Chains A and B, each alone.
Chain A
Amino acid sequence: MNSITSTEAEYAARAEGLHRSYRRGGSDIPVLRGVTVEFRRGTFTAVMGPSGSGKTTLLHCLAGMDRPDRGQVWWGPAAVHALPERRLARLRREHVGFVFQAFNLMPGMTAAQNVELPGRMAGRRPARTTVRDALARVGLAGRERQRPAQLSGGQQQRVAIARALVSRPRILFADEPTGALDRTTGTQILHLLRDTVDHHGTTCVMVTHDPAAAAHADRVLLLTDGRLVAELHHPTSHGVAEALAGLGGEA
């Protein structure tokens, strides 16, 4: 077996030398400055760092939702950075699940319809029981027919998680999935993510500000000013908090 195929087999996603900047007031503000990172199959990674450090931007680039200015993104053997828009959209639909920091749901659709949506777009029709089970797993049994406006922020977030999980993505990205939840519901969600990683071989990448949430992951990446500055394996809540304090930023 040569080295390229073993890399492909081993890593669900990897990125090399990612640069991304935004234009603001006539000049380019760098947000990512050369991020190189790999995600082993079936692992759970937490990304942490101060507000504005580029976590969301990194996640968008890794999920093929934003194009880096420079650098490469790979999902297994697929060169994401080189794919044309349409092929990328198709591939993303099949391989990637995403839970956004905010505005996750189609406001006109019911909870169940929102969960069905990606499958529908891929030309499948998810079974009714699958949708119901997915909602039940995030504690929303019986809420199938409600629309986002009738759900709390945390409940909306959970519908988004159900949607991300129902298509059984190979890689699941979640941007502060527990940010709007109380501790009990948050822990429930984290157990759910942990479970999909352990039992379904999903690769999960989660952004969080909460050291206790990060402790559920296999590894923590610390991002500051668009650079990866530290990596913790088998993190504990205490260890993560200390590492963050060492950055001199986050409370």
Chain B
Amino acid sequence: MTAVLAWSQLRRRPAGFAGLAAALLLAVATVTALGALLGAERGVSAAERGQMRGPGLGLIVGAFGEITVLVAFFVALNTLGFALRHQYRDLALLRTLAATPRQIRQLLRRQAGLTVVLVAAPGALLGAAAARALLVALQHRAMAAPHARIHSVLPAAGVATAATLLVAVAAASLTARQVTAPAPAAALADSSGPDRRPGAVRLLAALAALTGGALLVRLAATRPPAEVDKAAQATLLAALVLLVAVALAGPLLTTLVTAPLGRVLRTVLPVTGWQADANLRGYARRLASAVVPIALLTGLSATMATTTGTALRATAGPPGGATSATDSWLRQAELGLLGGFGAIATVTTLVTLTGERRREFALLRLLGATRTDVLRVVALEAALTAALGLLLGGAVTAATTGAFSLAATGSPVPTVPVGTCARIAAAAVLLTVPTALAAATVAMRRPPTAAAG
């Protein structure tokens, strides 16, 4: 029964699964590409390998893989949450029709599994192509042996699919709790998902992540100058762990930050600002889920860019010069990939959150707001969301790169690549506001009398 239901839900709401599919596709592709690269120097002589510049293929893949794989799965979890949100009402209804929590979990696991199966082949193909392109680029920079080549990608693709399947299914079981935890009637009454205060467990987890992040920051700050590489790794990891803390404490943090921001907004824009403020306050959790991917995207990229900038300044000299150049090229590539994941998460989140406000928009229009009035509120809310994400991402960046700078240069003030950071901030705003506006426009396509009531 659940298999049929899983499939019919996928077919009925393909849009709800688009973000999940994209994230899982990218996850399969990333793991496939990294796996294929790892095997590329098989059969190449040790002598030839020794002549290469840079840290060697294995280490490059390792450094590249660590963060991207973590982010890939973080994003997969996030998009899975939204796939669930899309069908929250259907699932709640199923529960009132006496579906057991187990059946609901099974349904969601099947959906996640089915999605992985659907994206496995295209993901593997994409991964293989990416591995080839990356190898050529590395060989071009003399960072990989000229005789290295991508052998069969099948084993790597197999491992990638299996790993993604495992993570997706486990994540589905976790997210299922959102529907199975409340009593059936309560779940049904709360048709777009609960907006409760964060539970104690969540706050404890956030506190644990915060502590872990702080320890990593200290670790990074106390590395001697000779261990700049280690400091850089600790810095990135610290950023990731702190961002997880932000994600966990999201609803609480956004409530704290929105209150003063909202007061300003209401004073400056008594109509649009008042509405945006009221909506954002009433939906701390909705706001938090939109803020988190933006904080993730901007926090990680800015940390990476600033770390590279600071390291370049610290090691400016002939021997380090070449290494740093290729190193920063690698960072750029990694930045691009992270940007891709961040963009998927942000767009999925915003499209879902805005789309499910269809009835709200209809109601506003029936109460005498024009389409433009509604879009103005949506744009303001999106801009605020982006600003909050930037603020949180920026705070994480400041903490982690300050520590790195202390280790690398002795000064807690890092070298901030202003241009790159401005581009990152611009990308976040440009991704957020138009996406929300487009989703709201689609949500208002039907006449309001048909959408409300």
Binding site for B on A (CB under 8 A): 56-57, 60, 65-66, 85-86, 89-90, 92-93, 98, 100-110, 113, 117-118, 120-123, 125, 147, 149, 175
Further pairs besides A65-B366, A106-B282: 19, Cβ < 8 Å: A65-B448, A66-B447, A89-B368, A93-B367, A93-B368, A98-B367, A100-B452, A101-B453, A103-B453, A104-B363, A107-B360, A108-B280, A108-B283, A108-B286, A113-B278, A120-B270, A121-B275, A123-B270, A147-B282
**Mostly helix, strand, loop or mixed at chain B's interface?**
helix
Query: Is B370 positioned at the interface, with any CB of A under 8 Å from its CB?
Result: yes
| Cβ contact of A89, chosen from B190, B274, B369, cutoff 8 A | B369
Contact A110 B368 (CB under 8 A): no
CA distance in complex: A90, B370 (Å): 8
CA distance in complex: A110, B274 (Å): 13
Q: How far is the CB of A30 from chain B (nearest CB, A)?
A: 17
B275, B283, B368, B448 — most chain A CB neighbours (10 Å): B368
Residues of chain B contacted by A102 (CB below 8 angstroms): 453
- What is the 8 Å Cβ interface bit string for chain B, positions 424-453, against chain A (1 contact, 0 not)? 000000000000000000000001110011
Of all chain B residues, the one with the shortest Cβ separation from A105 is B363
Q: A108-B281, A125-B270 are in contact. Are A100 and B364 (CB under 8 A)?
A: no
Contact B270 A106 (CB under 8 A): no
| Cβ contact of A109, chosen from B282, B286, B365, cutoff 8 A | B282
Residues of chain A contacted by B282 (CB below 8 angstroms): 106-110, 113, 147
Interface size on B, residues (CB 8 A): 33
Q: What are some 12 contacts across the A-B interface (CB < 8 A)?
A: A85-B370, A89-B373, A98-B366, A107-B283, A108-B282, A113-B278, A117-B367, A120-B274, A120-B275, A121-B367, A123-B271, A149-B190
A60, A105, A175 — most chain B CB neighbours (10 Å): A60
Contact A118 B368 (CB under 8 A): yes
CA distance in complex: A56, B270 (Å): 33
Of all chain B residues, the one with the shortest Cβ separation from A112 is B278
Binding site for A on B (CB under 8 A): 189-190, 192, 195, 270-271, 274-275, 278-283, 286, 359-360, 363-373, 447-449, 452-453
Residues of chain A contacted by B449 (CB below 8 angstroms): 57, 60, 65-66
Q: A66-B447, A66-B449, A100-B452 are in contact. Are A121 and B368 (CB under 8 A)?
A: yes
CA distance in complex: A251, B71 (Å): 61
Of all chain B residues, the one with the shortest Cβ separation from A84 is B370
CA distance in complex: A89, B453 (Å): 19
Residues of chain B contacted by A93 (CB below 8 angstroms): 367-368
CA distance in complex: A125, B275 (Å): 12
Of all chain A residues, the one with the shortest Cβ separation from B452 is A103
Residues of chain B contacted by A103 (CB below 8 angstroms): 359, 363, 452-453
Contact A121 B359 (CB under 8 A): no
Q: How far is the CB of A167 from chain B (nearest CB, A)?
A: 10
Residues of chain B contacted by A147 (CB below 8 angstroms): 282
Residues of chain B contacted by A121 (CB below 8 angstroms): 271, 275, 364, 367-369, 373
Residues of chain B contacted by A66 (CB below 8 angstroms): 447, 449
Of all chain A residues, the one with the shortest Cβ separation from B190 is A149
